[in-house]
Amino acid sequence: MSQRTSYEPGTPCWVELAGIPDFEAAEAFYRDLLGWEIPERENSAQLGGYRRAKLNGRDVAGASPVMQDGQPCEWNTYVSVEDAEATMAKVRDAGGTVIVEPMDVMGMGKMAVFTDPTGATCGIWEPGTFIGSELVNEDGTFGWNELGTRDPAAAREFYGKVFGWTVEEQEMPGMGTYYVWKDGESSRGGMMDITGMAPDGAPSSWLVYFTVADADAAVETTKAKGGQALNGPFDIAVGRLAILMDPAGAMFAVMAPTDETRAAAP
């Protein structure tokens, strides 16, 4: 079921496009690609210009303007937690770096941001009145979150201590080992070793996957609207995917799942 009223702790619950230089341009691009609207909210000014992207009237992603000089436009992942302060203590104990201390967001919840020992940035969300995305795993919404790193062993140890995740290894022909983050029987996301795959200067990062009906059409729309196709589209066992970049430089992926993958989505 794609509609959400809550998330289990340790589950990615929200994605956010941060550092948007032009909201009108961003809305036009993601409207054509994913069907979104990104309206200004009554409390946007109180939240530093923050907005929420909507699909069919439901919240699906955050949208934040440039907050400081030199800030890149990028997609961020947030993981739902029971206790933001306790989670940040685990981050420190596990060797991570707290970037934004837990802060209350107008009663909607508490957010914090950290960097893991491999250099990837990740956010957490302790829900109050707001739980995160109201729709997931359907066309136009996020359906997967994947850590790209050059040190999977360090990442496994860190995220195991912070969120209690374990790893299931899967061999992918021609691509090496893929790591699926697990919490019991539930999948929480993935991890790839980007050594030799990403440019030498590319940092570790979390990649957001959006579900689409047609990956090839998504690539053509992206290019027609001023974005770039960085890799793909190509087929893997669970669907057809492509890694893209929007006109402002934010990298993300699109996935057209197989019928079997769609049926198995939580």
**Mean pLDDT confidence for 250-258:** 97
Tokens standing for 38?
């990104």
Are the C-beta atoms of 73 and 21 separated by less than 8 Å? yes
Please state, in angstroms and rounded to a whole number, the distance separating the CA atoms of residues 33 and 210: 10
Tokens standing for 135?
């729709």
The band of 68, judged by pLDDT with boundaries at 50, 70 and 90, is confident
pLDDT score for 49:
78
Q: Is the pLDDT of residue 43 over 90?
A: no
pLDDT score for 248:
97
Are the C-beta atoms of 148 and 72 separated by less than 8 Å? no
142-264: which CATH architecture? Roll (3.10)
Q: Is the pLDDT of residue 208 over 80?
A: yes
The band of 266, judged by pLDDT with boundaries at 50, 70 and 90, is confident
**Mean pLDDT confidence for 108-131:** 97
Residue of higher predicted confidence among 156 and 262: 156
**Mean pLDDT confidence for 144-160:** 97
Q: Is the pLDDT of residue 163 over 60?
A: yes
Q: How many CB atoms lie within 10 A of CB 260?
A: 10
- Which of 85, 83, 53, 84 minimizes the C-alpha distance to 208? 53
- Which of 212, 192, 211, 210 minimizes the C-alpha distance to 202? 192
Taking CA atoms, 230 is separated from 101, 177, 224, in Å, by 34, 21, 14
The band of 100, judged by pLDDT with boundaries at 50, 70 and 90, is very high
Number of H helices, E strands in the chain: 5, 15
Note the pTM of the prediction, 2 decimals: 0.95
Q: Is 12-127's fold the same as 142-264's?
A: yes
Please state, in angstroms and rounded to a whole number, the distance separating the CA atoms of residues 190 and 122: 14
- Residue identified by tokens 């340790």 is 10
Taking CA atoms, 46 is separated from 40, 41, 138, in Å, by 12, 10, 31
pLDDT in tens, 74-93: 999 999 999 999 999 999 99
Q: How many CB atoms lie within 10 A of CB 256?
A: 22
Q: Is the pLDDT of residue 111 over 70?
A: yes
How many percent of the chain have pLDDT more than 70? 97
Q: Is the pLDDT of residue 1 over 60?
A: no
The band of 44, judged by pLDDT with boundaries at 50, 70 and 90, is low
Distant-in-sequence, close-in-space partners of 250: CB < 8 Å, separation ≥ 6: 17, 19, 72, 73, 74, 75
Q: Is the pLDDT of residue 174 over 90?
A: no
**Mean pLDDT confidence for 206-212:** 98
- Cα(first)–Cα(last) distance of the chain, in Å? 6
pLDDT score for 45:
64
| Domain residue extents for the chain | 12-127, 142-264
CATH code, residues 12-127: 3.10.180.10
Distant-in-sequence, close-in-space partners of 266: CB < 8 Å, separation ≥ 6: 1, 137, 186
